[in-house]
Structures are given as C-alpha cells and as structure tokens.
C-alpha cells in the first residue's frame, strides 16, 4: 500500500494567525513584559499603595510636630524670668527699710511675695506645657505607628486581591505559549470582572488549540493530496495502454481457450480496479466547485439508494420532511453513495437502515445516519478510519471514507462512527440546516 511521506507534527508550521500570536508572545517575553522581573507585580502594587497611604500621613505628622513645637516655651524664657525675679529681690534688699513707714514696708513685703508667687507659677506653667507637649508628641507617634501599620496591612491585602488574578492570567498566557493545557478548574480570584476575563482567555486557548489541530490536519492532507495526484498521474498512462491492449485481446477472445478467457476476465477486473483507484486518487483533495444550492435530503437519500443498492436488498428508511441543506448535490451524492455502499458490502440479508432527521439538541442541524448489521468498527480505529490510505478491506484503497470526510468538512459538517443498535457500525453525518 502506498503511503506518502508526511511531515512530523513538530515540524509542521502553524497558520499565519497562530504564528503571529506566538511571535507576539515571544516578543513580549523577550522584552521583559512577561518575563521575570526584579519585583513582582504584587510587590509593585504594594509599594505603590503603601506610598500613597504613608505620604499624606508623613505630611500630617510634620505639621503636627510643628504645632507641638510651637506650644513649647521659647528657649531662655525661664532664665529671663529668674533674672527678673533675682533683680527685684536685690533691689528690695538694697532699700533702707528703716526709712519706710509701716504701710510702705507692708506694700514692699506684698510686692516681694507677688514676685515669688508669679515666678513659681511661671515655672510650673512652663513645666506643664513642656510635659504636655511631650505627651502629645508621644501620642502622635503612637497614632502614626498604628496608622502606618494599618496602611501597610491594607496595602498588602489589596495588592494581593488585585494582583492574584492578574498573575493567574499571566501564568495562563505562559502556559498557552508553551502549548500546555489550562487547569480544568480554577479558583475565582479578584473582582468579578476577572471571571469574564478568565472565561475569555480559556475560550481563546481552546480556539488556538482547535486552529492548531486544524492546521496540522490540513498540512497532512496537503501532503496526502500531493502524493495522490502524483500517483494518479503516473498510473493513467500505463492504464490507458493496458486498456487498449485488453480491448484488442478481447476481439480475439473467440479463438482463445477457456484459460485465456479467465485470464482476460481477471485482467479486465484488475484494470478496472486500478482505473477506479486512479480516479479516487485524482479526486482526493479536489473540493467541490461552483456555488452552493439547496439540497433536499430526502430526495438525495432516495437517489443514492436507487443508484447504489440492488432492488431486492432491504433498506429501511426513516426520513423526516422538509429537511434542506445547502451544498453541492453531486459531491454529497458521491459521499453518501460511498457510505451506503460500504454498509451494503458488510451486511447480508438483514439490510441497512438510513435515518434523516433534525438534530433535536441543536435544532438547526440535519443528522443522517447509515446503520448496518456488520462487524462494526473497533473503538481504536474510529478516528483512523477517516485517514487517507487506512483501510480494513483486502482490496481497498483507503481513500473512500477520506473522500467522504473531505466532502462533509467542505460543507461545514461533521462525520463520526458509532455502534449501531445491532452491533454493527452507524455512520453519522451532520449538516447545518438551510
């Protein structure tokens, strides 16, 4: 069996969109925006919030300190009062009290006592003022410590609250860049708006992964198509010569013996098989041409059954009414013929069943199912059965179901194989309803 040389998955280039995204993330990482930094995002947020919280507090503390300082007694005020009191006492002592009358002496004593009392009161007031200023300064310091601690605590909590979801998303982006799967479940962090952002990043990751798989599949199919076209081209010339020679031999068949007749029959069958193989090779990779048109699914099924299944072969049909899809009628007919022919080949008198109905869960899809009584398809082969050149038939080319899948995908549909109710295979084709 011929197999093309296909590139390894790791060597296949991505689509321009995927390559652009990958290059963008690479540039971001190289520039340091997503790379390791001296300070993490959480620390930068913390420092910013701490600065915003402590700067106004520092300004307020400076103002309060100046106010407290202004309430203190000026330097040298107490010394000046002591000097004045000492001078007054010396003046009184220098007076000749013998020449003063009793009233004058009493007034002098009263004045001396007043000076002493005022001096003592001034000293006590200065002491109390300085003590109050010290206590007020200590209280302001304690309040400042409490406020700074509270500011740092709130800054730490808020920086963690706001930076955790951002760091989580950055980690997700790095996982996407490394083509690693995102966590199946993730703890909800930060404000509710980040939930929507996480959902969008997850959808973007799934879309990129789907696009990557599609590109790998398209690249592989391109390699298969190129090989198929080359093989078909190489087969056509010798086949044409062989068919011409076969026609000439058949003209002389009357004079040949039974052995030659059998040999000619075998040669004719094998030549026809090679011709069909070359035709399949040529058709592989050729997408339907021309504009799409409405296709009645019921009429399509009846046409396929009438042109593919023998008249006496039992076919059960359950076709819903009004099922219309858009597509290329001839390409869809060939694809459906291929699936029906395979089902008939593996089923004897039990017959097959063809169902066409709306896909109820989705409502806007048409589901066509061809079920048989054959041996079925092993679970390990259900993905490979649609690959080019994979076949379980002794004389199969491995292109029939690959052509079917190509046609279905070209019409925006899907194809899968399941177990039929009788243990055989059920091929399910799904199209968007027109």
In this structure, the chain runs to a length of 434
pTM above threshold 0.75:
no
User: Do residue 299 and residue 425 come from a single domain?
Assistant: yes
Give residue 333's pLDDT band: very low, low, confident or very high (50, 70, 90): very high
Residue at which a domain ends, from 127, 152, 177: 177
Residue 258 lies in a domain: no
Residue 117 lies in a domain: yes
Q: What is the mean pLDDT of residues 197-226?
A: 79
Share above pLDDT 90 across residues of the chain, in percent, rounded to a whole number: 17
User: Do residue 171 and residue 302 come from a single domain?
Assistant: no
Residue at which a domain ends, from 143, 160, 177: 177
Q: Are strands 352-358 and 315-319 parallel, antiparallel or unpaired?
A: parallel
CB–CB of 344/313 below 8 Å?
Answer: yes
Residue 392 lies in a domain: yes
For residue 206, pLDDT over 90 is answered with no
- Residue 406, pLDDT score: 84
Residues 263-288: pLDDT tens digits? 667 777 777 767 766 766 666 656 66
Does 388 or 368 have the greater pLDDT score? Answer: 368
Residues 390-419: pLDDT tens digits? 777 766 667 788 888 888 988 889 999 999
Residue 280 lies in a domain: no
- Residue 362, pLDDT score: 56
Burial 220-257 (b: 16+ CB within 10 A, else e): bbebbbebbeebbeebbeebeebeeeeeeeeeeeeeee
- Residue 140, pLDDT score: 77
Task: Give the number of other CB atoms < 10 A from CB of residue 367.
Answer: 22
Q: What is the mean pLDDT of residues 156-174?
A: 80
Cα radius of gyration (the chain):
49
What is the CATH number for 344? Answer: 3.30.565.10
Torsion of CA 304, 307, 313, 314, to 10 degrees: 30
Residue 201 lies in a domain: no
Residue 301 CA, distance from chain mean position: 40
- Residue 252, pLDDT score: 66
Residue 108 lies in a domain: yes
What's the domain count of the chain? 2
Instruction: Give me the phi and psi of 315, to 5 degrees please.
Output: -130, 120
Residue at which a domain ends, from 126, 153, 177: 177
Residue 259 lies in a domain: no
Q: How far apart are CA 215 and CA 222, in angstroms?
A: 10
Nearest CA among 283, 315, 280, 284 for reference residue 301: 315
Range of the domain at 406: 293-432
Residues 227-263: pLDDT tens digits? 667 666 667 776 777 777 777 777 766 665 666 667 6
Residue 105 lies in a domain: yes
């Amino acid at each position: 069996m011929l197999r093309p040389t296909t590139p390894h998955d790791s060597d296949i280039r991505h689509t321009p969109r995927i390559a652009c995204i990958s290059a963008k993330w690479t540039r971001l990482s190289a520039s340091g925006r997503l790379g390791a930094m001296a300070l993490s995002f959480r620390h930068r947020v913390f420092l910013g919030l701490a600065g915003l919280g402590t700067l106004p507090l520092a300004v307020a503390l400076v103002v309060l300190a100046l106010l407290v300082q202004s309430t203190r007694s000026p330097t040298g005020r107490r010394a000046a009062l002591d000097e004045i009191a000492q001078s007054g006492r010396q003046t009184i002592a220098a007076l000749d009290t013998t020449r003063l009358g009793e009233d004058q002496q009493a007034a002098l004593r009263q004045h001396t006592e007043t000076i002493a009392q005022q001096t003592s009161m001034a000293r006590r007031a200065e002491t109390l003022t300085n003590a109050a200023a010290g206590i007020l300064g200590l209280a302001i310091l304690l309040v400042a410590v409490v406020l700074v601690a509270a500011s740092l605590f709130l800054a730490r909590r808020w920086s963690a609250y706001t930076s955790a979801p951002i760091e989580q998303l950055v980690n997700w982006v790095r996982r996407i860049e490394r083509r690693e799967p995102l966590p199946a479940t993730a703890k909800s962090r930060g404000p509710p708006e980040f939930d929507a952002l996480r959902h969008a990043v997850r959808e973007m990751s799934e879309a990129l992964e789907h696009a990557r798989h599609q590109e790998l599949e398209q690249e592989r199919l391109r390699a298969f198509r190129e090989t198929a076209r080359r093989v078909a081209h190489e087969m056509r010339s010798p086949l044409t010569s062989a068919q011409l020679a076969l026609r000439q031999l058949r003209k002389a068949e009357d004079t040949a013996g039974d052995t030659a007749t059998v040999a000619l029959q075998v040669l004719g069958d094998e030549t026809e098989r090679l011709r069909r193989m070359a035709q399949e090779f040529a058709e592989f990779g050729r997408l339907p041409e021309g504009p799409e048109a409405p296709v009645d699914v019921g009429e399509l099924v009846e046409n396929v059954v009438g042109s593919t299944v023998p008249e006496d072969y039992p076919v059960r049909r359950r076709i819903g009414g009004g099922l219309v899809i858009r597509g290329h009628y001839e390409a869809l007919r060939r694809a459906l013929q291929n699936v029906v022919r395979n089902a008939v080949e593996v089923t004897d008198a039990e017959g097959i069943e063809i169902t066409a109905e709306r896909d109820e869960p989705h409502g806007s899809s048409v589901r066509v199912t061809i079920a048989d009584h054959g041996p079925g398809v092993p679970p390990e082969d259900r993905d490979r059965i649609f690959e080019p050149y994979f076949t379980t038939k002794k004389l199969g080319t491995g292109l029939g179901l690959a052509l079917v899948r190509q046609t279905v995908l070209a019409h925006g549909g899907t194809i899968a194989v399941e177990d039929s109710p009788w243990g055989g295979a059920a091929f399910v084709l799904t199209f968007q309803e027109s």
